[in-house]
Amino acid sequence: MKVLVTGAGGFIGSHLAESLVEHGHEVTAFVRYNSKGDWGWLEKSKYVKEMNVVAGDIRDYDSVINAMNGKEVVFHLAALIGIPYSYISPLAYIRTNVEGTYNVLQSARELGIKKVVHTSTSEVYGTAQSVPISEEHPTNPQSPYAASKSGADFMALTYHRSFGLPVVVIRPFNTYGPRQSARAVIPTIITQLLAGKKKIKLGSLHPTRDLTYVKDTVAGFLKAGELTNINSNGQVINLGSNFEISIGNLANSIAEIMGLKVEFIADAERIRPAKSEVERLFADNSKAKRLLNWAPDYSLEKGLKETIDWLGKNMDIYKPDIYNV
């Protein structure tokens, strides 16, 4: 297929773009324009020469529609994702996540794109009201980031219902793995441990998360993008492990894998506002199994070991002494 990946220079996007190349697709990677001409994680990718890298801005309709022209499938991952920064600049999230998604959807409608795979987030559910969380669970975003993603999700579903646009909304739960930003909890824990810290600074230790290794998440995206899978059109589909673990227990598990004994402390700077903290995330992934024939292959221990190994080889790009907003 001729495919476009927006946000291709990012964490999940770069892994997805590479996997699409491995599966023989003709890949255009849409990365954010910058004066350095930097392509994010694709800079060092062994597959980048087999991609067409296009720089633009997801907020700019002209660059989006030009990049999408001639494509069959669009995987839309470009977004602002840091929750703490969304408290500082909510408008930036509206412009990128909501307006950017509109640009993709409207361009797809005008160009006759055969399928749009839109990326959501489990954060739109808020704290679990019932578990495991199915796609029928109410949306209750508790941060400006989650609100912007919820708005983008409903825009995508509306384009399917109003205009017949073939859209599937993929809702990953807490993806982790190589290349993830230190804004996320797992790289935060591991990089501090690798730096020799004895007291590891974290936010709240009691909330639970449903963690999915990035290779499993990418496998779900690939299945969702298959043109023969018409049953997924107009659907919201969770990608999660169907397993929850508290941040505190996760930190202890990582320390145990690394053979370290350390103390974990709650740092006030890293704790979300009380009504904004998502206390529990625990995915029901039965719909993904039914519609996509997808289930995660990686155990948490296996995924953590690969992540620890990668971070150990790339510590020079992380700043474990600094809290990344």
Catalytic center residues: 145
Residue corresponding to tokens 């994010």? 40
CB burial readout 82-119, b (16+ within 10 A) else e: bbbbbeeeeeebbebbbbbbbbbbbbbeeeebebbbbb
Distance (Å, whole) CA 208 – CA 70: 43
Say how far residue 180 (Cα) sits from the centre of its chain: 10
Handedness of CA 205, 218, 134, 158 (dihedral sign): positive
Close Cβ partners of 187 (under 8 Å, ≥ 6 residues apart): 176, 180, 181, 307, 311, 318
Q: 263-266 and 199-202 as β-strands: parallel, antiparallel, unpaired? A: parallel
Close Cβ partners of 84 (under 8 Å, ≥ 6 residues apart): 183, 270, 272, 325
Close Cβ partners of 250 (under 8 Å, ≥ 6 residues apart): 185, 186, 189, 209, 211
Radius of gyration for the alpha carbons in the chain, expressed in angstroms and rounded: 19
Q: Please name the helix (run of DSSP H) or strand (run of DSSP E) that holds residue 316, with its range, or none.
A: none
CB 5, CB 13: distance < 8 Å: yes
Say how far residue 133 (Cα) sits from the centre of its chain: 18
Nearest to 13 by CA among 78, 81, 102: 78
Point out which residues pair with 266 in neighbouring strands: 202
